[in-house]
Chain A
Amino acid sequence: MSDQNVNIKPLSVLIADDSHLDRKQILRCIKKSEKLSQFDCDQVKSAAETISKLYEKEYDCLLLDYNLPDGSAIDVITKIRTETKFLPIVVITGFNNQKVTIEVMKAGASDYLSKENVNSYSLERIVTNAIEKSQLKLNAYKNKQKALQNSKLASLGIMAGGIAHEINNPLAILAGQAEVYKILKSRDLITEEKVDGLFDQIEKTVKRMAHIVDGLKSFCSDLRNEEVSLVSTNEIIEKVYTFTAAKLESQKIPFEIINSCDSRVSCNSTQVAQVILNLINNSIDAISEQEKPWIRLEVSQFKNKVIISVIDSGPKIPKQVQDNLFTPFFSTKGVDKGTGLGLSISKGVLGTFGGSLEFDAQFKNTRFTVSLLAEEVVKQGRAA
């Protein structure tokens, strides 16, 4: 935003200060400033009034005294920032104290000015800067949202393409089955057994298409349940183990859990358990024919991330398959076994609470890693 824009638009500022004299001083400076003199100014005396006034009316800037009788600027800013990240807030500090300035900036203030430095020039500079900075931030945020929306649309396109692909293949098979019938008939080779066989195949093909539609249904419902909380990784691992133990035992696949930490992570535990179950099921499908198959689950914490790895005795995945691992409907499994949606759904689900799913191309066996945000990060994130 240019200086001119700040001037042309009738902007409004809320002055929050319990001292009548200080408010008067600030007002005087505003009226004296060339750029701020046209601002529409309102005044409040307490933290509570500030909050309720902000609910009532939209302001372009808040001039906030550090010490209000019913709360500090930190409390007010924290409350405001849960609603909006873009309101320019300039804190007027009574004391030129570095600790205070760091605190208010950390809480989310746009800038600060100590009381003894308040004059029309300093106020004009700081307020116009804060408004411009916020405008830039808002624009960047809007652009990011737009890009996100575009990428959502793009993945929707890929998804639709995948559905078309998955439906067209069985349709081609159905067309072929009709053709086979015609050929058999023209050669007088129709027997009851052959007709039964054809109908059996047609049924299977239709079931396959229904299976794809079912996969889509669970894709949608999984995305709807989004409750996120702090849970212990042990709890997730236990959940996973309860569901897989029997299958692993029946397939005689040795399963090992190496748990080097019990951290609390921010996620939807059911969804994470499903993701890990899905990875283990993929492993079982891939290695069950091997002579000495094994699966290992490793939990470790690396800096702010908790990594849960699913490693199996399978060899490295070919480059061509690697490139398509997370593409919806891509599958190396037989048509009756996989929908090709598992990994792409898993990646999307983990992304909703800041986690991620990666394939480790460097590892000598097959290794997928689920990363989740550890508790500390979540706490820091909230405070910042």
Chain B
Amino acid sequence: MSQVSGKKVLIVDDEEKLRSMIAMVIEYNGAIVSQASNGVNAFEMLKKQSFDIVVTDIRMPNGDGISLIDSIQNHFKSSKKPHIVVMTAFSFIEDKALLNKGASLVMKKPFLFDQLVGDIDCLLSFGCKESA
């Protein structure tokens, strides 16, 4: 049984196709999944309900991933802060900087979806911070 089973996961990406496929795969592993197409909408959802994990893209129109990470860091107490998994297709920001900002995991597109679920599993089991 995957560690994500029963967890509330928010997927944030402006690529609708990719977002829905990630949602499908994570849902398949037993998670309760919500979706948002940009950082601004995602943050609104985060304020209304609690999530265990936020999986977010970086480059999005109307609210990028970096601003979303900053908003999460500023708004939530550490006990209520969701794990943040960042997906980047290409970014001039280094992985280390993303981890320092508060991301728990950096996934580089294109990644295999098995790997995404496996890494999130590892994150939930050991709280490990690593870059895929």
- Interface of A with B (CB < 8 Å)? 161-162, 164-166, 168-169, 171-177, 179-180, 183, 201, 205, 318, 320-321, 324, 330-332, 335
Contact = CB atoms under 8 A, between A and B. Distances in A.
Given A179-B113, A180-B21, A180-B25, A172 B63 contact: no
Given A172-B89, A172-B109, 11 more contacts: A161-B91, A169-B109, A171-B109, A171-B110, A173-B17, A173-B18, A174-B110, A179-B112, A183-B24, A321-B61, A321-B62
B59 interface: yes
A177 B110 contact: no
Interface in B97-113: 108-113
A169 B15 contact: yes
A180 B18 CA distance: 11
B89 A164 contact: yes
A164 B111 contact: no
Contacts of A176: 17-18, 21-22, 25, 113
Interface string B10-34: 0000010110011011001000000
B92 interface: yes
Contact of A332 (B17, B61, B91, B108): B61
A321 B37 CA distance: 15
Contact of A320 (B17, B25, B63, B110): B63
Contacts of A318: 62
30 contacts: A161-B90, A161-B91, A161-B92, A162-B90, A164-B89, A165-B59, A165-B89, A165-B90, A165-B91, A166-B89, A168-B90, A168-B109, A169-B15, A171-B110, A172-B87, A173-B15, A173-B17, A174-B110, A175-B112, A175-B113, A176-B17, A176-B18, A176-B25, A179-B25, A180-B21, A201-B17, A320-B63, A320-B67, A324-B61, A330-B61
A179 B112 CA distance: 8
A344 to B, nearest CB: 15
A166 B89 CA distance: 7
Interface in B55-82: 59, 61-64, 67
B89 A183 contact: no
Most buried by A among B15, B109, B112: B109
Nearest to B92: A161
Interface of B: 15, 17-18, 21-22, 24-25, 28, 59, 61-64, 67, 87, 89-92, 108-114
Contacts of B25: 176, 179-180, 183
A100 B28 CA distance: 87
B110 A172 contact: yes
B61 A169 contact: no
B68 to A, nearest CB: 12
Most buried by B among A166, A205, A318, A320: A320
Nearest to B87: A172
Most buried by B among A161, A176, A177, A179: A176
A205 B87 CA distance: 19
B75 to A, nearest CB: 18
A258 B63 CA distance: 36
A305 to B, nearest CB: 31
A179 B18 contact: no
A164 B90 contact: yes
Contacts of B91: 161, 165
Contacts of A324: 61
Contacts of B90: 161-162, 164-165, 168
Most buried by A among B18, B111, B112: B18
A357 to B, nearest CB: 20
Contacts of B63: 320
Which 8 A-B pairs have CB atoms at the shortest separation, nearest pair first? A171-B110, A176-B21, A164-B90, A168-B89, A165-B90, A179-B113, A172-B109, A172-B110
Nearest to A208: B17
